[in-house]
Structure 1
Amino acid sequence: MSSDSYLSMPIHLKPTNPLNLSNHAVIILASGLSLRLGQAKQLLCKDGEPLICFMTKLALFTKPQAIIIVIPDNQPLIASAMNELAFQYSMIQMVVNPTPEIGMAYSLDLAIEAVTQLTSSLIERVVIMGVDQVLLDEQHLVKLLADKRSVVASAYGSWQQTFHLNNMNLNETSAATALKQNIIGLPLTIDCDLLREWQALLVGDKGLRYLIRGLPPSQISTVVNNQLSYDIDTPEQLAHAKQKGWLAK
């Protein structure tokens, strides 16, 4: 991407971190059918734009070589929401999952295949993120990329656990002490070679989590961020996010 393109980015997207992050690609898994939610979470509105666009701009902040976005088939509104960004930034590649109902593993398989086909030989790491962690920010992605272990994953509690503790009006320190980070998951960074090695092991709804658990401690680290507990899977979670002002009403 040219320097002029970065100058035209909104202020909150201009790269301000000192890290050299350009040896990575980003995968955004956005092909879920949102069956429990009852509407496409990709199109929920955050800061005046569809959530899928907001998450793509977070990915752009890290200055990747490529951004692979997996979307569901037969969802023209999701595809059209990304048209402007995809036109503006040539590193964005849309990949359509024709069978999103069979589980996340196939979406990830399609994305890994797209990364493998990239001509750039500079890609050493891959950031994998979803589309519905509405409190994800740029600095969390920077922290994930700053650690060079084989896998650097996010750690946080469950939605119910975090919601309950926050409603108890505990201060930040007390809440952090009470909350067990029992989820190790997205977003995460992973060595590109390891991701390709694991590609054949992805089946159904089994993503990377069970493979990550098998790594020795020396190859994995975590970045704790309990705000990532707030994803949007149900009408209750959506209502809470709107009430907090995280998403538009």
Structure 2
Amino acid sequence: MKKSDLTSNSAALPNQNSSQQSSHTIILLASGLSRRLGEAKQLLYKNGVPLINHMLQLAVSTNPQVIIVVIPKNEASIASEVAKLSDTHLHIKTVINQTPETGMGHSLYTAIEALTYFVSNKNFNDKNSNHKTVERVLIMGVDQILLDLEHANELLAGKHLVVASAYEPWQLLDTLSKDDHIERGADANHESTNLIVGLPLVIDYQLLKQWQLHISGDKGLRHLIRALSPSEIRTVFNKQLSYDIDTPEQLAYARQQGWVDK
């Protein structure tokens, strides 16, 4: 990784308590080019703030040790929004994806490389350090507009190697009810269902580093997750996660529902 690809904002948001160090870190994947949407989804507004800032605020609320946020190159507006989140307690590391057209796999590979670099240089595993050992990583996308802190905390509460979200494809949905936020048991393959098993998810840090070599281009974690045994993965079902923003039609529907600002 080039030094020019990694910038550091000593950043963070309210309600952070440095005396209560967690054992998790966060990767926020936000380097998509939004080609099908036709505009940068990172800069859509939700509750009066750009979506990327909304997701960073949610990430910060889990009190991680560090957040690695990956953004595309040559996107000054996105970089500027991330830079606005400044303070002196939580470290937000902004990683520039120099080839965002390659796909999410490359974005994740770049994030893992940056996280490993940061952890090794901050001596997280030193007994004399103020940091706890990094044990798990919460990986998030930027466009699951109904993701909330409750779900993130459910993922972080799990003890399996991987605790992943499960949800239905957008086209299967016709209604949304808060009562549909339910938990299901572990099922690594989901061969008999239409469920998507994926982001956001929490993964063991050492396992994520092992999997890095198997991630490239648009090939992310899904094929690796499917190979896990049922004892190694837990899924948390949340119908709200089905609503992401990839097309103008999906954006129009989200605005109609009031999930994204008009």
Q: Specify the code of the residue in structure 2 equivalent to 1:136.
A: L
| Paired residues of 1:155 and 1:183 also in contact (CA < 8 A) | yes
Q: How far apart are residue 91 of structure 1 and its match?
A: 1.1
CA drift of 1:99 comes to 0.3
**Counterpart for residue 152 of structure 2:** 141
- The one-letter code matched in structure 1 to 2:136 is R
What residue in structure 2 maps to residue 131 of structure 1?
142
Give the 5 Å matches for 1:94-109. Answer: 94-109=94-109
Q: CA deviation at 1:87?
A: 5.0
**Aligned ranges 1:146-157 → 2 under 5 Å:** 146-157=157-168
2:171 pairs with 1:160: yes
Change (3 A) 1:130 1:89: farther
- Mapped to 1, the partners of 2:23 and 2:179 lie a distance apart of 35
1:90 Cα deviation after fit: 4.1
- Alpha carbon RMSD of aligned pairs, Å? 2.4
Q: Structure 1-normalised TM-score?
A: 0.86
| In 2, Cα distance between equivalents of 1:21 and 1:224 | 28
Q: CA deviation at 1:208?
A: 0.3
Equivalent pairs, count: 229
List alignment gaps of at least 5 residues for structure 2.
1-10, 126-132, 184-192
Show the counterpart of 1:28.
Answer: 28
Change in Cα spacing, 1:131 to 1:22, as seen in structure 2 (3 Å) is: same
The CA deviation at 1:171 is 10
Which has more helix, going by share of residues? 1
- Structure 1 unaligned segments of length 5 or more: list them: none
* Residues 1:204 and 2:213 aligned together: no
Q: Is the 2:105–2:219 contact (alpha carbons within 8 Å) kept by the matching residues of 1? A: yes
Shift, 1:105, TM fit: 1.0
2:143 is paired with a residue of what secondary structure? coil
> CA deviation digits over 1:189-210, x for unaligned, max 9?
0000000000000122111011
CA contact (8 A) 2:43 2:51 kept: yes
User: What SS does the aligned partner of 1:85 have?
Assistant: coil
Partner SS for 1:236: helix
Structure 2 length-normalised TM: 0.82
Aligned to 1:188, which of 182, 193, 201? 201
Does residue 243 of structure 2 align to residue 230 of structure 1? yes
| Deviations 1:125-167 (CA, angstroms, capped at 9, x unpaired) | 00000000000000100000001100000000001112x3x18
- Distance in 1 (CA, whole Å) between partners of 2:158 and 2:260 is 31
